[in-house]
């Protein structure tokens, strides 16, 4: 059976993954610093209003032990539908954004499609299914290698690899920032927090965990900057500073770090609230993601039509 212990509160392992990779790869921090310098230069030149739509080819690796973990094509499609709505600002719950921030809501114009051609040029449905003997994967990238019970990545420069599996320890998912090892690049998702149907379980059954993790993959940080003393930054200018992650479904406004009267932008996809309480990316976040797609992840969208 699928893991029925879906956590009551959001948990993201991306920063833990960052620190793990820093220890394993001595050059990772320097590469990220170089990427950040290039990102800031790209942001200075970018006009978000004039961005053209781009397509990101995806391959979904479904890793299952029990039959119900072998999630359906329909559940996978439901997740793509959410990603495409959220990254094109067509999500039906967008009106939930408080009026004071409605002008900041941006449209990333990023479309996600399952690959139709594999790395060798053969026809594919963009879904790989692998049976495993592993009860629950930890945050050690085991799901990314056939040798450890997972599924080997497709060319991570040309495809967004997304591994969907049973995760141990209450983890909902994690992603790898740009600049990390190519063989493990991509997004990992808990199968009960993926899509809007099948075995997806509340409060993470509206597909927003993937929206959040793909944001990390495109070089977004948590909105509170991953500190506890108001000193952190998400490196985006149009998100208010906040002290800590918000959970569940807060009432607006929630004030921290002297950010009144409007308080925390907890309805942002990069906070930790429940799926039905997050509705938006800001224009600044979108500029940062699009700088990533024109920089360290440019090969994802280059000639994407040949893969989708």
Instruction: Provide the token pair at 61.
Output: 């690796």
Task: Evaluate whether residue 189 is within a structural domain.
Answer: yes
What angle, rounded to 10 degrees, do the helices at 14-24 and 28-45 form? Answer: 130
Task: Evaluate whether residue 276 is within a structural domain.
Answer: no
213 included as an active-site residue: yes
The domain in which residue 138 lies consists of 14-224+281-306
The CATH number of the domain where 71 resides is what?
3.40.390.10
Task: Evaluate whether residue 34 is within a structural domain.
Answer: yes
Domain count, the chain: 1
End-to-end Cα spacing for the chain: 33
Give residue 6's pLDDT: 77
The alpha carbon dihedral of 74, 78, 79, 80 has a sign of: positive
Task: Evaluate whether residue 230 is within a structural domain.
Answer: no
How far is it, in rounded angstroms, from Cα 257 to Cα 97? 21
Task: Evaluate whether residue 157 is within a structural domain.
Answer: yes
- Cα-only R_g, the chain: 18
**One of 17, 36, 183, 213 is an active-site residue; which one?**
213
User: Residues 134, 149: contact at Cβ < 8 Å?
Assistant: yes
What residues contact 36, with CB distance under 8 A and at least 6 apart?
235
pTM: 0.97
Task: Evaluate whether residue 272 is within a structural domain.
Answer: no
Task: Evaluate whether residue 197 is within a structural domain.
Answer: yes
- Chunked into runs of 10 residues, the chain (308 residues) has average pLDDT values of 71 95 92 96 95 98 98 98 98 97 97 98 98 96 98 98 96 97 97 98 98 98 96 96 97 96 98 98 98 98 96
Give residue 4's pLDDT: 53
Task: Evaluate whether residue 150 is within a structural domain.
Answer: yes
């Amino acid at each position: 059976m699928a893991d029925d212990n879906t956590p009551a509160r959001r948990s993201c392992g991306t920063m833990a993954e960052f620190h793990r990779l820093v220890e394993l790869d001595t050059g990772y921090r320097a590469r990220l610093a170089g990427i950040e310098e290039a990102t800031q230069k790209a942001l200075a030149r970018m006009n978000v209003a004039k961005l053209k739509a781009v397509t990101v080819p995806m391959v979904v690796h479904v890793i299952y032990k029990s039959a119900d973990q072998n999630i359906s094509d329909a559940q996978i499609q439901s997740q793509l539908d959410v990603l495409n709505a959220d990254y094109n600002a067509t999500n039906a719950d967008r009106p939930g954004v408080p009026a004071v921030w409605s002008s900041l809501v941006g449209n990333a114009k990023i479309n996600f499609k399952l690959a139709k051609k594999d790395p060798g040029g053969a026809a594919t449905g963009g879904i790989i299914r692998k049976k495993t003997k592993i009860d629950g994967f930890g945050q050690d990238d085991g799901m990314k290698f056939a040798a450890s019970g997972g599924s080997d990545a497709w060319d991570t420069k040309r495809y967004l690899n997304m591994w969907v599996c049973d995760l141990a320890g209450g983890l909902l998912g994690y992603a790898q920032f740009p600049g990390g090892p190519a063989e493990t690049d991509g997004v990992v998702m808990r199968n009960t927090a993926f899509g809007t149907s099948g075995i997806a379980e509340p409060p993470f059954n509206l597909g927003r965990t993937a929206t959040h993790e793909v944001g990390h993959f495109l070089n977004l940080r948590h909105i509170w900057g991953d500190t506890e003393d108001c000193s952190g930054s998400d490196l985006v200018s149009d998100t208010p500073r906040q002290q800590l992650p918000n959970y569940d479904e807060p009432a607006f406004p929630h004030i921290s770090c002297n950010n009144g009267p409007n308080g925390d932008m907890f309805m942002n996809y990069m906070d930790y609230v429940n799926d039905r309480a997050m509705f938006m990316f800001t224009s600044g976040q979108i500029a940062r993601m699009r700088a990533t797609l024109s920089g360290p992840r440019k090969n994802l969208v280059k000639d994407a039509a040949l893969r989708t």
